[in-house]
Amino acid sequence: MSRALSEQEIVRRENLKKIREMGIDPFPAEPFEVNAHAREIKENYSEEKKNYQEVRLSGRLMMKRIMGKASFAELQDASGKIQLYVARDEICPGEDKSLYNVLFKKLLDIGDIIGVEGFVFTTKTGEITVHVKKLKLLSKSLRPLPIVKEKDGKVFDAFTDPQQRYRMRYVDLTVNPHVRENFIRRSQIMQAMREFLLNKGYLEVETPILQPIYGGAAARPFKTHHHTLDQTFYLRIANELYLKRLLVGGFDSVFEFAKDFRNEGMDRFHNPEFTQMELYVAYTDYIWMMHLVEEMLQYIVKRVFGKSTLTVGGHEISFEGPFQRYTMYESIEKFTGIDISEMDEKALREIAGKLHVEVDPSMGKGKLIDEIFGEKVEPYLTDPTFITDYPIEMSPLAKKHREKEGLVERFELIVNGKELANAFSELNDPIDQRQRFEAQLELGKRGDEEAMMLDEDFIRALEFGMPPASGLGIGIDRLTMILTNSKSIQDVLFFPQMRPEKPAEGAAGVEEETQAE
Partner RNA sequence: GAGUCAGUAGCUCAGCUGGUAGAGCAACGCCCUUUUAAGGCGUGGGUCCAGGGUUCGAAUCCCUGCUGACUCACCA
Residues 60-119 contacting RNA, CB under 7 A: 63-70, 72, 83, 85, 87-89, 106, 109-110
* 439-458: contacts with RNA (CB under 7 A): 450, 452
**Torsional sign, CA 338, 339, 340, 346:** negative
37 versus 478: smaller Cβ distance to RNA: 478
* Angle between the N-to-C axes of helices 365-376 and 328-336, in degrees from 0 to 180, rounded to the nearest 10: 50
* Least spacing, CB of residue 139 vs RNA, in Å: 17
Q: What 8-state DSSP symbol labels residue 100?
A: I
Contact 326, 385 (CB under 8 A): yes
CB of 482 to RNA, least distance (A): 16
Comparing CA positions, the residue from 286, 306, 304 lying closest to residue 421 is 286
Q: 3-state SS string over 310-338?
A: EEECCEEEECCCCCEEEEHHHHHHHHHCC
Work out how close the CB of 301 gets to RNA at its nearest, in angstroms, rounded to a whole number. 23
Rounded to 10°, the helix 177-199/476-484 angle is 120
Q: Least CB distance from residue 333 to RNA, whole Å? A: 18
| Segments in 45-176 forming alpha helices (H) | 88-91, 98, 162-167, 169-175
499 binds RNA (CB under 7 A): yes
Q: Which of 82, 301 has the CB closer to RNA?
A: 82
Contacts 24+ apart (CB under 8 A), 171-174: 171/145, 171/146, 174/60, 174/76, 174/111, 174/145
CB of 320 to RNA, least distance (A): 25
Which positions from 260 through 289 interact with RNA, judged by CB under 7 A? Answer: 262, 264-265, 267-270
Q: How far is the CB of 490 from RNA (least distance, A)?
A: 6
Give the binding range for RNA (CB under 7 A) out of 2-10, 52-60, 193-201, 505-513.
2-10
- If binding is defined by CB under 7 A, does position 364 make contact with RNA? no
* Shortest distance in whole angstroms from residue 263 CB to RNA: 10
Task: Identify residues 393-432 at the interface with RNA (CB under 7 A).
Answer: 394-397, 412, 419, 422
CB of 123 to RNA, least distance (A): 3
Confirm if 145 and 158 have CB atoms less than 8 A apart: no
What type of residue is 86? V
Report the residue number, 162 or 353, with the smaller CB distance to RNA.
162
CB 255 within 8 A of CB 279: yes
Residue 431 pairs in a beta bridge with none
x/- map, 182-221, RNA, by CB under 7 A: -----------------------------------xxx--
Q: Which of residues 7-36 bind RNA (CB under 7 A)?
A: 7-8, 11, 15
Residues 138-157 that bind RNA (CB under 7 A): 144-151, 156-157
* Calpha distance 359→28 (Å, rounded): 64
User: For RNA, which is the closer residue by CB, 149 or 307?
Assistant: 149
Residues 299 to 328 in contact with RNA, rule: CB under 7 A: none
Q: Are 148 and 156 in contact (CB under 8 A)?
A: yes
Among 2, 31, 94, 124, binds RNA (CB under 7 A): 124
Peptide bond into 177 cis (omega under 30): no
CB 271 within 8 A of CB 259: no
Q: How far is the CB of 394 from RNA (least distance, A)?
A: 4
Number of residues that bind RNA (CB under 7 A): 77
Nearer to RNA, 122 or 231 (CB): 122
Q: What does the H/E/C string look like for 122-156?
A: ECCCCCEEEEEEEEEEEECCCCCCCCCEEECCEEE
* Greatest extent of the chain over all pairs of C-alpha atoms, in Å: 94
Considering only residues 462 to 491 of the shown chain, the ones binding RNA according to CB under 7 A are 487-488, 490
Which of 4-12, 199-207, 280-288, 298-306 is the region at the interface with RNA (rule: CB under 7 A)? Answer: 4-12
Pairing of strands 80-87, 128-139: parallel
Closest CB to RNA among residues 72, 251: 72
Which residue number, 2 or 228, has a Cβ lying nearer to RNA? 2
Q: Examine residue 227 and tell whether it contacts RNA (CB under 7 A).
A: no
Q: Give the nearest distance from C-beta 364 to RNA in angstroms.
A: 11
Least distance from RNA to the Cβ atom of residue 447, Å:
10
* Residue 306 DSSP label: S
Q: 509, 503 in Cβ contact below 8 A? A: no
Q: How far is the CB of 278 from RNA (least distance, A)?
A: 12
Which residue, 180 or 303, is less far from RNA as judged by CB? 180
What's the rounded Cα separation, in Å, for the pair 443 and 104?
70
CB-nearer residue toward RNA: 136 or 478: 478
